Amino acid sequence: MSIRTLENLSDKLAQDLAWRKRELAEIKSLVEAKKNVSDQRHKVLVRSAVCILYSHWEGFVKLAANAYVEYVRLKRLTYQDISTNFLALAMKEKLKEAKETNKPSLYIPVCQFLISELNQRCILPKDPISTASNLNSEILKDIADILGIDFSPYLTKSKLIDEKLLKTRNEIAHGEYSGVDRNEYIELHQEIINLLDIFKTQIENAASEERFKRKSP
């Protein structure tokens, strides 16, 4: 489905987050229902739950971020009309090519572009947002910056994201023992659900307020 309208964007985000929440709710209910389950089996369940929780954290952030970029891309704005964060995203490949060759002469067409071609339609890449399969707070901040959304709601949650979720998930995924008890998981579950809701709302607000457009001087 093309994401051409605010309704398209909201529907895309709502539908994706809904199925993730349903699955996570099922897992949480299994973690909470410890009755008639051995301690060893319950530990395995909790460790598995952490990995799935992380997968939905990374999966939704990546999908939502790229959905917003797609929405902006289909607005067909010019380079001079788009916000600086999206202009940076559009210019990334041009600058990357010049840098990798280490030839100063390749910066000349980039400069010419900036001087004389900003009235052309802005070409944004498809699915440019990457989580590098390790969505820590630093990568999340980079994503927030490139989307033009406020990172401050996540500042106090950086340790939770980096250590309680990502570090624990990595230890489990790499075959290391990482003990997470029932209460720790339930708290982590709720925190991550809250962060996903915040991220979804931020993208919807940025789109509805047209923050992807350059502000008039």
Chain segment 93-141, per-residue pLDDT in tens: 667 766 666 677 766 777 777 777 778 888 898 899 999 889 999 999 9
Percent of the chain with pLDDT over 70: 92
Give CA–CA dist 176/153, Å, rounded: 31
Query: What are the distances in angstroms from CA 147 to CA 70, 71, 190, 203?
Result: 11, 12, 25, 8
Q: Which two tokens stand for residue 175?
A: 């075959």
Number of domains in the chain: 2
pLDDT at 209: 96
**Between 118 and 194, the higher pLDDT residue:** 194
- Residue 61 pLDDT level (bands cut at 50, 70, 90): very high
In a domain, 214, yes or no: no
Residue 44 has pLDDT above 70, yes or no: yes
pLDDT at 105: 74
Together in a domain, 133 and 84: no
pLDDT at 98: 65
pLDDT at 66: 97
Residue 208 has pLDDT above 90, yes or no: yes
- Averaged pLDDT for residues 48-72: 97
- Averaged pLDDT for residues 176-189: 85
pLDDT at 174: 80
Together in a domain, 90 and 48: no
In a domain, 1, yes or no: no
In sequence order, what E strands does 71-194 have? none
Together in a domain, 21 and 70: yes
Together in a domain, 81 and 65: no
pLDDT at 23: 97
Residues shown for the chain: 217
In sequence order, the β-bridge partners of residue 213 are 82
Domain range enclosing 84: 77-121
Together in a domain, 67 and 171: yes
